[in-house]
Amino acid sequence: MHIGGYDIHPVETGRFALDGGAMFGVVPKPLWEKTNPPDEKNRITLAARALLLKGEGRTVLIDTGNGGKLNEKLASIYRVDTSGSDLASSLARYGVSPEAVTDVILTHLHFDHAGGSTMLLNGESVPAFPQARYYVQAEHWRAAAAPTERDRASFFPEDFLPLRERGVIEFTEGEGEILPGVEVRLVHGHTAALQCPLISDGRTTLFFCADLVPTAAHLPLPWIMAYDLRPLVTLEEKRRLLTLAADEDWILFFEHDPALAAARLSRTDKGIVLGEPLTME
């Protein structure tokens, strides 16, 4: 896929699993299990899909998946599986080495989005992309550095504190363009100041949904994760941004859908629904 000055590719960093009830909140299991069958521990399979942008003199990565630092216990709890793909091998498929990445945009710092930002080197957590600048909202950084009891388990300091220690963080402030042709929209329902990248050339627009709409199954407005700190805020954010996406024919990029990376929306007499699935290769 090509938008503006960028060639754009999905980057599969592996699969993992989270509790289906937590992923769908108040939606009854007989509804969500039709499209997301759980395992014997009630976990559903999820992708940890990043996005690669090459062009404008840059190699940009949006989010980094779970990474490779989880201990055996956590890897088992979250059923992390990199046997089919991981971040390094998927980047290599497009001729990209870790040293070639110039910019990493982190939507937020939950471990399944920022885990691959650092790696272990001689027992120390260090930036996984040594030449890159990492972009994260300052408001979100403050929330991640001092999480509440409600969301503490989602943040692993070793994923992001080494970035500040090595001086590679760029703190973004609010909405707007952060790289040529790449702006961010903020949402606050899932966590504080989550930045969703928007890549556009005025004709074609791709919206990186992150955890606002983690899978295509989450398109209906009330299908909201129990992980969200402010579900009613998420509801209104989805209403606003999905309406805009339908009106302006955006491509939606799904970070966690195990089968579908991108699609457009359609309007029907039942409202806004999933439309044309897209192949990004």
> Looking at residue 102, which CATH number applies to its domain?
3.60.15.10
Boundaries of domain holding 76: 2-278
pLDDT at 202 over 90: yes
What is the tens place of the pLDDT at every residue in 179-201? Answer: 999 999 999 999 999 999 999 99
pLDDT at 221 over 80: yes
pLDDT attached to residue 56? 94
More reliable by pLDDT, 277 or 76: 76
Count of structural domains, the chain? 1
Can you give the pTM of this predicted structure? 0.97
pLDDT attached to residue 213? 98
Q: pLDDT band at 203, cuts 50/70/90?
A: very high
Pairing of strands 182-187, 176-179: antiparallel
What is the tens place of the pLDDT at every residue in 40-90? Answer: 999 999 999 999 999 999 999 999 999 999 999 999 999 999 999 999 999
The average pLDDT across 236-256 equals 97
The average pLDDT across 207-212 equals 98
pLDDT at 145 over 80: yes
pLDDT attached to residue 279? 85
pLDDT attached to residue 94? 97
The average pLDDT across 15-29 equals 98
pLDDT attached to residue 27? 98
- In the block, residue with structure tokens 């970035």: 163
| Torsion angle of C-alpha atoms 121, 65, 62, 215, degrees rounded to 10 | 180
Cβ–Cβ contacts within 10 Å for residue 155, how many?
A: 19
Per-residue DSSP letters for 84-148? S--HHHHHHHTT--GGG--EEE-S--BHHHHGGGEEEETTEEEESSTT-EEEEEHHHHHHHHS--
**Do 211 and 18 contact (CB within 8 A), yes or no?**
no
Which residues are 274's β-sheet partners?
Answer: 265
